Structure 1
Amino acid sequence: MPLISIIVAVYNVEKYIDKCLESILAQTFADFELILVDDGSTDRSGNICDSFALEDGRINVIHKENGGLSAARNAGLDIAKGDFIGFIDGDDYIHSEMYRLLYNEITTRNGSIALCEVIRVDNSECDIFSVIDNQQYHVEELSNMDVLERMHDIRGWLYVVACNKLYRKNIFDNLRYPLNRLHEDEFLAHRILFNTSKVVSINVPMYFYLQRDGSIMNVFSIKRLDALHAYSERITFFEEQGLFDLREKVILMMMLEFIHLYFSVAESEPNHKKSLKQYWHMYNKFLVYLLCRNSISVKQKLMFLLFFASPKAYKMVFNYRAKIRGTNFE
């Protein structure tokens, strides 16, 4: 049986999948199975996966109807044989030492999850040299509460995303990714981390996240509103667990995301502006809550009040202040 099951969701990435798979097969840690889930690709992605499978017996290809990233990951989880699970997106790539280091640290330190840093790259070539090549790295052992706090800080995405991690398989015994949702990691991350005994964090950049023009996260879609739904579920979860400080952090994040998405919808999808109405009542409810919290600054309270009174006035003030910084809503 393989020690690690690496699951790659593949959908219309024929330009990038070769580099992704080559980076996995070049791992210095070789005891893995590679599960490629072709999620109904309409280009040559599926054929490329089949070609790689003919050359390496560790590769298992699943061809299925298009169901989205969550369905693809779940399909891989259903057949995974390894004691540990890793996820990679089909247009990204990894350092050759990634799984060796993650495996060594998670087993040596008896962790539930091991994670590394992420580098955002564009379509141009990237030198994948990192500090690991000189063995200059630092490892932290974090409790579940440490990580739950960090996932709501400015670099919280590092703890939310799945692809820079190695998980013990039993974490997913009763968990699967939500179907038909964008921001699938946001829906599941807090549940995974809450039930984690120890997270091993390695300050080594070994996962290369490709930012490309056609990526779903770089094109506005009404499905981006799923982020608000994910935050709403997380607020309820923390409330049920009695974690009220974390609940407050998520409420603040949700309010800021709502404002951002409000203007994104108004400019990119004006016909769907009514889709935000279902979230207005939550904004109003949480506005009252935040106004009563001493931990929220007066500046933030005024910002939320101004948006509630007049989104148009809020935008004018924001753009006026942002001119100096060179950013605005336009």
Structure 2
Amino acid sequence: MVTISIIIPVYNSEKYLTACIDSVLAQTLADFELILVDDGSCDKSGEICDGYALRDERVKVYHTENSGSSAARNYGIDRACGSYLGFIDSDDVIEPDMYELLYNNMIREDADMSMCGLADVYDGKVTNKKDKNIYKVMDAEEAIKTVMEAELTSVTPVNKLYKRELFDDTRYPVGKDSGEDASVIVELLMKCKKTVLDTSQKYYYVHRSNSITTRDFRPSDLSVIQAYQKNYSLITEYYPKLADIAVMRLCWAHFFVLDRLLISPNRREHKAIEKRLVGFIRKNTGFILRDRYFRKTRKLATIMLKINVGLYRMIVTVHG
């Protein structure tokens, strides 16, 4: 049995896939298998995956019908042989020692999950470079708080290493347009007696312009709210001291969906959804204005939303 199974869902990423795979195969911790799940790609991604499998015995390739990244991750989990699991997005890259750091920290602390820092890359430049690294070992409550705050790490699965057992009865939700990462992270952390975090930035999350910012709104976009509603229910039941953070994230999810709806070409087709989103935010205006996690521009936009949706849209369009 290999130590680590690294799972990469692949879909139409031929431009970036080689750099991603090369960064994995260059890992200083060599005892791993790389599972590439080609999720019905229409470009040459599948051929690229097959080429690597011929050249490196650590690479395993599976070709499936297009079902989304969650289904591809689940497919990889079901076929993984490693004692530990890791996930990478097919258009990102990692430092050569990322998995060595994650694994060593996990073994040193006898942890169930290990996290490292994530660097945001826009136009080839890191926009959130950290001057100081933080190392800490957390129980479940502190780990959930840290992830929900999203200041040191976040809900994304890609900068983490997991004990395989965490996924014994957990899978990523299939058929969701967004929120699939958030939907499982609290559930996973609740199973962890220890989680170790080292904020050394070893994962490069490459942001690319794509059609999602201007495409038609779909009711399935509400899945991000459903994910944070699930988290809210879990947190308020088992960790009531974190209730405010759970509310904050639920408000954030409503902002996220409303902002997407307001810039979509088919906005007029979803007036009932818009009314519901606006109503939730207006109802929670007092909380949003008091909460330290929301920026001043977001608070100003919230005040404007009490007056007029158009004023809100203008502020978030200009300031984000």
- TM > 0.5: yes
Equivalent of residue 196 in structure 1, options 184, 192, 198: 192
**Residue in 2 that maps onto 1:271:** 268
Is contact 1:147-1:159 (8 Å) kept?
no
Deviates more, 1:246-255 or 1:48-57: 246-255
Amino acid at match of 1:65: E
**Residue in 1 that maps onto 2:310:** 312
**Residue in 1 that maps onto 2:183:** 187
**Residue in 2 that maps onto 1:144:** 140
Question: What's the CA shift for 1:270?
Answer: 1.3
Partners of 1:303 and 1:21 in 2: how far apart?
42
Is contact 2:120-2:204 (8 Å) kept?
yes
Is contact 2:289-2:299 (8 Å) kept?
no
Segments of structure 1 that go 5 or more residues without pairing to the other structure are none
Is contact 1:291-1:301 (8 Å) kept?
no
**Residue in 2 that maps onto 1:163:** 158
**Residue in 1 that maps onto 2:46:** 46
Deviates more, 1:25-34 or 1:114-123: 114-123
Partners of 1:303 and 1:125 in 2: how far apart?
29
Q: Superposition RMSD on alpha carbons, in Å?
A: 3.3
Matched residue count: 311
Secondary structure at the residue paired with 1:119? strand
Partners of 1:40 and 1:101 in 2: how far apart?
33
Question: What's the CA shift for 1:231?
Answer: 1.3
Question: What's the CA shift for 1:305?
Answer: 6.8
| Aligned positions of 1:1-330 closer than 5 A | 1-122=1-122, 124=124, 138-155=134-151, 158-181=153-176, 182-214=178-210, 216=212, 221-222=217-218, 223-241=220-238, 243-268=239-264, 269-274=266-271, 276=273, 279-280=276-277, 283=280, 287=283, 291=286, 307-308=305-306, 310-315=308-313, 319=315, 327-328=318-319
Question: What's the CA shift for 1:296?
Answer: 5.2
Partners of 1:253 and 1:125 in 2: how far apart?
28
Question: What's the CA shift for 1:271?
Answer: 3.3
- The structure-2 alpha-carbon separation of the partners of 1:143 and 1:218, relative to structure 1 and needing over 3 Å to count, comes to farther
Partners of 1:19 and 1:201 in 2: how far apart?
26
State the TM-score, normalizing by the size of structure 1. Answer: 0.82
Amino acid at match of 2:258: Y
Is contact 1:37-1:64 (8 Å) kept?
yes
- The structure-2 alpha-carbon separation of the partners of 1:220 and 1:203, relative to structure 1 and needing over 3 Å to count, comes to farther
Secondary structure at the residue paired with 1:15? helix
Amino acid at match of 1:311: V
Amino acid at match of 2:249: M
Is contact 2:148-2:154 (8 Å) kept?
no
Amino acid at match of 2:189: L
Deviates more, 1:57-66 or 1:207-216: 207-216
Q: Which has the larger radius of gyration?
A: 1
After superposition, the C-alpha distances for 1:128-147 in whole angstroms (9 at most, x for unaligned) are x999xxxx955211111111
- The structure-2 alpha-carbon separation of the partners of 1:304 and 1:328, relative to structure 1 and needing over 3 Å to count, comes to closer
Question: What's the CA shift for 1:293?
Answer: 11
- The structure-2 alpha-carbon separation of the partners of 1:258 and 1:302, relative to structure 1 and needing over 3 Å to count, comes to same
Partners of 2:278 and 2:233 in 1: how far apart?
16
Question: What's the CA shift for 1:77?
Answer: 0.3
Deviates more, 1:255-264 or 1:163-172: 255-264
Is contact 2:106-2:112 (8 Å) kept?
yes
Question: What's the CA shift for 1:122?
Answer: 3.6
State the TM-score, normalizing by the size of structure 2. Answer: 0.85
- The structure-2 alpha-carbon separation of the partners of 1:106 and 1:247, relative to structure 1 and needing over 3 Å to count, comes to same
Amino acid at match of 1:240: E
Partners of 1:282 and 1:169 in 2: how far apart?
41
- The structure-2 alpha-carbon separation of the partners of 1:123 and 1:200, relative to structure 1 and needing over 3 Å to count, comes to same
Partners of 2:18 and 2:287 in 1: how far apart?
54
- The structure-2 alpha-carbon separation of the partners of 1:62 and 1:123, relative to structure 1 and needing over 3 Å to count, comes to farther
Partners of 2:42 and 2:139 in 1: how far apart?
43
Question: What's the CA shift for 1:235?
Answer: 1.6
Partners of 1:169 and 1:183 in 2: how far apart?
22
Is contact 2:217-2:267 (8 Å) kept?
no
Deviates more, 1:71-80 or 1:203-212: 203-212
- The structure-2 alpha-carbon separation of the partners of 1:278 and 1:55, relative to structure 1 and needing over 3 Å to count, comes to farther
Runs of 4+ in 1 over 3 A off after TM superposition: 122-126, 215-224, 277-282, 290-297, 299-306, 312-316, 326-329
Partners of 1:218 and 1:24 in 2: how far apart?
33
Secondary structure at the residue paired with 1:16? helix
